[in-house]
Amino acid sequence: MAYDPMKNRECSTNTADPQMLDYSEPLGRFLFLSQKGQLFALDGLSISADFSKLAPRASSTSFNAVYPLITRIRPSNVSLVVQAGEPSNAYFLMNTSRDGSGKRMRVRQDTPEIIMTALKRDRFPVVRLGELQKIVNTSQKNQSPLSLPIRYLELRPQLPDTWSAALKDVFFANAESNQDKTDVLEQKLRILRDEIKATMLEQYLSKCMWLNDGGSMLGMLRYKENNTEFVPFDTGDSQITAFVNSLEKSSEGKYIGRRNFANVIPTLVKKNPWVSPTLHIYDPIFRAQHELSEHYSLYNGLRVLCDIGAPVLVHWEEGFDTSIPVVLLKPSHAGGQITQVSVREFPTRDVVWTKLEF
């Protein structure tokens, strides 16, 4: 069951049924963060006239694609001020000092304009639901205006421009939409997922060497229109022919190698710092035998595996979304040590990414 950020979130400090006012315009155009750090959008937000009750209405959209892009939440110098019973008179204040102690200046922009301005500066504004609840309760007790700080999501460094642009479109769509936002947000998030997938395939996975599902052919990966295709090597390439002839094969013509020890995760993993696929060596015995770590960036993982065998990825006909098996092909013993080293490293000959990408 999906986590519901709105479950048991209706807050009230008044047993009477207070007049509820619509605050969707000043507040509902922001994306929100739950107390568990999950993003969600609001289809609407009502607050009672006396600030005694808060009733958000959440969209069902899942933001799972966004989480690996975020490193932390940081404060901004912008806050939203709302008077009790006056949602149309909400306004923004900006702190003009670096340490937060200076004069606050009123900003003559509405909520969508505030969001658009932040996004143009590569800032991704959000509101913490827990902070809103606490501030509403405090304002009700003190009979004071609501002053809500706006937070910014900080993204991983060195993200591709296409990813940050697609994420901005998610925020734009939420700021421009009223009431049911699910369809438009799902469309924008699908574009973000497609951009991430395209980058992973075009910039990383297509530079690797691949083994077909049957284990008898080597080739490359071709990516076109959100689909992948296994393309066997040209038998007229002398280097490829020399490499193929330097590998051990079974009597059935299948390549011999180590299987079921590692896979490649073809998307970002939140806990890993690199902006590339992750090579996961999940077999603890294999790790201990070769003194390896469990997780590597794709480049570093292939590099350490070259010391053991010739690493290739397995192409499944049904495609892949969550993991790609890794096989370590076995070089023939017919050649000398130098030949075996060159054979092991040959599958990574096109892997020439810069160090900064990892």
What's the mean per-residue pLDDT of the chain?
87
Q: Look at residue 128 and tell me whether its pLDDT is greater than 50.
A: yes
And the tokens for 155?
A: 């993204």
List, for residues 167-223, the tens digit of each pLDDT value. Answer: 999 999 999 987 789 999 999 999 999 999 989 988 899 999 999 989 999 999 887
Confidence tier at 340 by pLDDT (50, 70, 90): low
Select from 97, 30, 98 the least CA-distant residue to 58.
Answer: 30
Which pLDDT belongs to residue 96? Answer: 81
**Lowest mean pLDDT, pick from 4-13, 30-39, 98-107, 267-276:** 4-13
Tell me the whole-structure pTM to 2 decimals: 0.84
pLDDT at 6 over 70: no
Q: What is the pLDDT of residue 3?
A: 41
**pLDDT value of position 358:** 37
Whether pLDDT at 311 is above 80:
yes
Each residue's pLDDT tens digit, 53-111: 889 999 999 999 999 999 999 999 999 998 877 888 899 999 887 655 667 899 999 99
**pLDDT tens profile 250-295:** 999 999 999 999 999 999 999 999 999 999 999 999 999 999 999 9
The rounded distance, in Å, linking the Cα atoms of 323 and 315 is 11
Whether residue 15 is predicted with pLDDT greater than 50 in this model: the reply is: no
Q: Which amino acid is at 274?
A: W
Q: What is the mean pLDDT of residues 219-243?
A: 84
Confidence of residue 336 (pLDDT cuts 50, 70, 90): low
The pLDDT confidence band at residue 5, using thresholds 50, 70 and 90, is low
Q: Is the pLDDT of residue 2 over 60?
A: no
Q: Residue 81 has which token pair?
A: 């001020």
Q: What is the mean pLDDT of residues 211-236?
A: 85
Tens-place pLDDT, residues 76-86:
999 999 887 78
